[in-house]
Amino acid sequence: MTIIRSGRFAHVDAKVLILSIGPMSRTVLREMNKTVKISKMENKQPVIVERSGHAVSRKHIDPDALKVLYRLYRHGFKGYLVGGAVRDILLGKSPKDFDVATDARPGQIKKLFANCFLIGRRFRLAHIRFRGGKIIEVATFRKEPDEAEEVETESPERNNTFGDPVSDAFRRDITINGLFYDISNFSIIDFVGGLSDIERERVCIIGDPHERYTEDPVRILRVLRHAARLNFSIEEKTASAVASHRHLLMQCSGARLFEELNKDLNSGFSSSVFQLFHKFCVMSCLLGKVGAYFEDTPGASEKLFELLGVADAAAVSGKKLSQDIIYTLLFWYWTEHVIASDTSREQDKVKLLGDAFLALDMTIVIPKSLKAGIIQTSCILDRMYAAMRTSRMRWSLKKRARYTDASIAFSIIEKSRILPAKDPFEEIFREKYPSAPGRYTRRRSRKKKRQA
């Protein structure tokens, strides 16, 4: 990897910078005369990796993303591929999303692209839509807003705190996501030490972790998520600050945390992510008493990780499980515990689990329909386990809407895999009780017509 020197700015370096980074030189030189808030940004010169020194090629970039980058460049704007796409290509992975950052304002972007739609109120983002539902997100460089700028005004445009590449890089969460690919000269620009952390295979938050976690506690989840997905270590200060700030997650929006959790459960790495959640005692901050149950009950978390591993394997193979099944697996050992601990057998199990959910004190807000699905599927699972103990199965349960989900979940719990059968539970049941009574339909007796 060929790297142009990185160190402190000095007038003697100016010529090197101009030759290395071309159109970016004016911006960088202007930064020499600014007072920057973040300590890491003070007197910081970017690491520039020329085209011959890195593995990022245009053939690895989505053609529509290239169209966006080139059109911005041709009209005199900076166009950078940013974030996870650069990171994944450097690691030999295929990026899922291709995000673009530019110095063009949202209104200017919209004029360049007829297929552009602006979203957001506080900060406007440009979504450029292509065939097949593909969206390339284009954002204007941002910076940390001053206190005077944080006051909302009637004009949404005034709420936008636009910046430059340096300030935009330092607003990002972790260093490995702060890399820029410059379409003008095909170089990689690193202001935050992301290249070094990729080589060291570690996740490091940008700036002081105490300040960054306090500003946005969801960054804790993102640090753990990327460490799990990439199998990277976590930088010491970044990791140690999680313990003293994880309680701040309970102050976050429950709907936002639900969205973040969905990303992890559908990523194909949910087992690894939850192992780190358990290691850093984050589960109880997200799932309340459910998380506390898995943290405090010996062996429960290991069983959960095994179930999530099956869901991950299904996601990787392209046979992703439904949201209802995944959440049923996530809550199953807790719901099983609640049902088993009920002393009154006459208690309505649906009501029992409903009351238990109300008392969970979960930070995450789960939609009512999903919660009802978890409860109903868990109750059918409980009946299936009773049938496995007694050889008596109430086959009328097949008529219930959640039976199929319960059948698939049962095979995952019992066999640690998804059986290819149409009804996995029935196949497992028949394997154990081949002579058990099957399904039958009760015939109604017909009354003889009275003879006149």
CATH number at residue 115: 3.30.460.10
Write the DSSP string, 98-120: -EEEESS-HHHHHHH-TTEEEE-
Bridge partners of 142, per DSSP, are 162
Same domain, 187 and 275: no
200, 235, 265 — which closes off a domain? 200
Cα 83–Cα 86–Cα 87 angle in degrees, nearest 5: 85
Q: Specify if 71 maps to a domain.
A: yes
Residue 79: its pLDDT value, please?
A: 94
DSSP state of 72: H
Count CA atoms closer than 13 A to 218's CA, side-chain side.
16
Task: Identify the CA nearest to 312 among candidates 383, 204, 416.
Answer: 416
Residue found by looking up tokens 């300040």 in the block: 211
pTM of the model: 0.82
Beta 79-82 vs 179-182: how paired, if at all? antiparallel
pLDDT tens digits for the chain (452 residues)?
444 434 333 333 333 333 333 444 434 333 433 333 444 444 468 899 999 999 899 999 999 999 999 999 999 999 999 989 999 999 999 998 999 999 999 999 999 999 999 998 778 899 999 998 999 999 999 887 654 444 443 344 444 578 889 999 999 999 999 999 999 999 999 999 999 999 999 999 999 999 999 999 999 999 999 999 999 999 999 999 999 999 999 999 999 999 999 999 999 999 999 999 999 999 999 999 999 999 999 999 999 999 999 999 999 998 899 999 999 999 999 999 999 987 656 568 999 999 999 999 999 999 999 999 999 999 999 999 999 999 988 888 899 999 999 999 999 999 999 999 999 999 999 999 988 776 654 555 555 555 54
Question: Is residue 209 a part of any domain in this protein?
Answer: no
Do residues 180 and 292 share a domain?
no
CA distances for 245 relative to 209, 212, 216, 318, angstroms: 9, 10, 10, 36
What is the Cα–Cα distance from 408 to 410, expressed in whole angstroms?
5
Please list the residues that pair with 233 across neighbouring strands.
Answer: 202
Query: Among residues 187, 218, 219, which one has the least CA distance to residue 206?
Result: 219
Please give the pLDDT value at position 9: 31
Q: What is the pLDDT of residue 451?
A: 52
Q: Are residues 196 and 293 in the same domain?
A: no
- Number of domains making up the chain: 2
pLDDT of residue 445: 53
**Residue 277 CB partners (closer than 8 Å, separation 6+):** 224, 283, 286, 291
Domain with residue 386: its CATH number is 1.10.3090.10
Closest CA to 145 of 97, 215, 40: 215
Same domain, 185 and 318: no
The residue segments making up the domain with residue 375 are: 253-432
In angstroms, the first-to-last Cα distance of the chain is 103
Specify whether 424 is located in the same domain as 281: yes
Is 192 in the same domain as 264?
no
Decide: helix, strand or coil at residue 189.
Answer: strand
Instruction: List the one residue out of 425, 394, 389 whose CA is nearest residue 407.
Output: 425
Q: Are residues 259 and 113 in the same domain?
A: no
Which of 335, 233, 244 shows the shortest CA–CA distance to 289?
335
Look at residue 217 and tell me if it is in a domain. Answer: no
Tell me: do 379 and 287 sit in the same domain: yes
Active site residues: 97, 99, 173
